Structure 1
Amino acid sequence: MTGGDADGWAGMDHWDWNDHEDVRRRLDAGADPERWGAGGSRPLHRAAVFGSPEVVAELARRVADVDALEDGATALWEAVVAGRSENARALAAAGADPGWIGYGDWTPGRLSLAGPEPHLFPLAEDQPRLTEAERAVAEEGRRLIAALGDIYYDGLGLACVAGIDAEEAIRRLEATPADAELTAELLEDPYAYDPDETLRIIGVTTVPGGCVVTQPWGYGPSMPGVHTRLSAGTVSYGLYANPKSGNQGSIHRDGVCEGWDLHPGGGPDAEEGPADVLFSYVYCYQAVAYSLAYAGLRPTDARAVIGPPDHWVELPDRDYWAT
């Protein structure tokens, strides 16, 4: 993504906000410290998320208001949400306010207490800390993200189902054992097959809190007809890590779709309430962990996601886009 010529930031991409010398040269040549590209974007917000502390400090010195808003948030808020602690420190040193009230009535300072560096900012004695319930959300998030590790999940499909085990999921789906030889060949090279030939082959694994239906190569588990059956009397969160358009989430509860084309791991939204803002922050950039945690699942490793699952099964031939 690049900015336009008029503001002096032409050709800038994500990584260029780390180049202090280039950013300073542009600013000295007349680049606008208050505007980047179209749509009201701000250079300081870009640098807060993608840049270096030196670039953040340079821009912070040149703007009229270090706490100016973009999409309803300050640059400090964006740095905290993105986990850019050094940038957050640079902004605070430049006068940015950790007590600014942001999404869901959270402040950057209080939200950071649930992050990887809970002592990021000094908080006054009268400022509220995390409640016990909020601390539990943060601690479980850190545990789950660490348990999953650094997994490759592009192209993955998941259904994360609360309260039922693998055997009950298989019963609800009326699935049968998959052909062992075909499954072995598929695991060797899933993209050697036409996707339509393999969408009905899925893995199912029991985990603490429920079960996971997985397909490392496709969107099979995220099809609506799968979730309407799995979510009877419970909740199911679906994920398809679309290589072309990014992570796509869905929520089904008791057979009814409550949300579609969601963005798990995308960070807090201005319309979310306090609990949802915290949850979205804890699992920011962690789409798989977000999906598992939404359904209350607590796996101890990544096996249920990337395999080998407890069972390889094949779904019956039916229209899974008709709910």
Structure 2
Amino acid sequence: MLGVQVVRGVARTGTEGGMVADQDDGWAGVGWEGWQDYEGIRRRLDRGADPEVWGGGRPLHRASVFGSPEVVAELARRVTDVDALAGGTTALWEAVLCRRPDNARALAAAGADPWRPLVGGWSPGRLSLAGPTPDLFVMPEEERGLTEAERTAAREGRRLVSALGKLYYDGTGLACVAGIDAGDAIRRLEATPAEGDGLDELLEDPYAYDMDDSLRIIGVTTVPGGCVVTQPWGYAPKMPGVLARLSVDTVCYGMYSNPKSGNQGSIARNGTIEAWDLHPGGPPRPQAGSQEVLASYLYQSSAVAYSCAFAGLRLADARAIVGPPDMWVELPQRDYWER
């Protein structure tokens, strides 16, 4: 029985119980910047690099995100199907999603279909209408544009990302809560005001304190649409027991920017944690619905904005995130990992 494994750009072929030989697909050693080197990529292709296979995916998909338009056009000329799927999407989808309009134009010129529905009912062409290059493709008469709700979401996305600006939030925990203010949040959490010299010392160097103590101090701020619970040094706002209490009769999005593993999101609705281990600011999941696809596109690499937008918070600036909050409070002693 013939078996095939792909390991780091090298296809390993062989038979069960027999010897295994390495068959180089020609892409070993090509880093992110290498996909912009047209002459280098063309030489590899001329020497036999496989235009259909790169590691666990396809070279054209890789180049659509990291490459130059010239490299994309060269690969598109050599593949069998410019709209071949990898991970459920086409190279054109990846170029649009990652906001590489020049690469998207090169793919369309090579025959890629901008109006093929792929994820959550969205096509690359329709998704581009919500971004910075809405005139990227000519829209056929039979294609529908954005709905009014989608146009409104796109406008708010641009406004919110601009309002928050460039944030440093590594290590920060957030809970974005819809429809309640800071006072409501404090009452739901049964928190008490934190003040005095002890608070000042903690804020000056929170990592010098025992985590059991520092995690109990959180900031709460009223914003248009609801409130933000924040902790610049820890994950307390995202703990299940905190989210469950905050989300009674409403919805909230919790996020922790883990310095080791990236942004981690969760959704709580009416006291129940309904989704965990999400990735705000990242690409949409393959099974994503229409709203998730649009939000992932609008708030790409903007995890804080994504979290706020999910709860319908319309922040005018970044104060609720970076401080100072309306109030610092202390959580009562309890097991917040219990939902």
TM-score (norm 2): 0.90
Aligned equivalents of 2:109, 2:241: Cα separation in 1: 52
Match of 2:35 in 1: 17
- The 8 Å contact of residues 214 and 305 in structure 1, kept in 2 or not, is answered as yes
1:306 equivalent in alignment to 2:306: no
Counterpart in the other structure of 2:142? 126
Is the aligned partner of 1:222 residue 2:228?
Answer: no
Partner residue in 1 for 2:3:
none
Partner residue in 2 for 1:36:
54
The code of the aligned residue for 1:3 comes to G
Q: When the two structures are aligned, how many residues end up with a matched partner? A: 321
Residues 22 and 193 of structure 1, relative CA distance in 2, 3 Å threshold: farther
Shift of 1:36: 0.7
| Alpha-carbon offset, residue 264 of structure 1 | 1.4
Distance 1:319 1:85 in 2: 49
Tell me how far apart the structure 1 counterparts of residues 47 and 234 of structure 2 sit (CA, whole Å): 49
User: Does the Cα contact within 8 Å between 1:17 and 1:52 map onto a contact in 2?
Assistant: yes
Alignment partner of 1:96 is 2:124:
no
Partner of 1:268: 284
Q: Which of these two proteins has the greater Rg computed from alpha carbons?
A: 2
Tell me if structure 2 keeps the 8 A contact 1:203–1:309: yes
Other-structure match for 1:316 = 332
Cα deviation for residue 306 of structure 1 reads: 1.2
- Match of residue 45 from structure 1: 61
Amino acid at match of 2:28: A
Partners of 2:67 and 2:199 in 1: CA distance: 44
Letter in 2 for 1:160: C
CA contact (8 A) 1:267 1:283 kept: no
User: What residue identity is the alignment partner of 2:50?
Assistant: D
Q: In structure 1, how many angstroms separate the alpha carbons of the residues matched to 2:331 and 2:200?
A: 17
C-alpha separation between the residues in 2 aligned to 1:25 and 1:216? 49
2:154 is equivalent to residue 141 of structure 1 = no
TM-score, normalised on structure 1? 0.94
Identify the match of residue 9 of structure 2 among 3, 22, 33. Answer: 3
Distance in 2 separating the partners of 1:26 and 1:193: 55
1:57 equivalent to 2:73? Answer yes
Counterpart residue identity of residue 321, structure 1: W
Kindly provide the CA deviation profile for residues 226-257 of structure 1, in whole angstroms up to 9, marking residues without a partner as x.
01111111111100111111111111111111
Write the mapping of 1:187-198 to structure 2, written as runs, cut at 5 A. Answer: 187-198=203-214
Q: Give me the whole-angstrom Cα distance separating, in 1, the residues matched to 2:8 and 2:130.
A: 33
Which has a greater percent of strand? 2
Q: Unaligned stretches of 5+ in structure 1?
A: none
SS of the equivalent of 1:308 reads coil
How much identity, in percent, do the aligned residues show?
Answer: 69
Residue type at the aligned position of 2:273 = C
Which consecutive unaligned segments of at least 5 residues does structure 2 have? 1-6, 12-23
Inter-CA distance 150–2: structure 2 relative to 1 (3 Å threshold) = farther
Compared CA separation, residues 3 and 307, structure 1 to 2 (3 A): farther
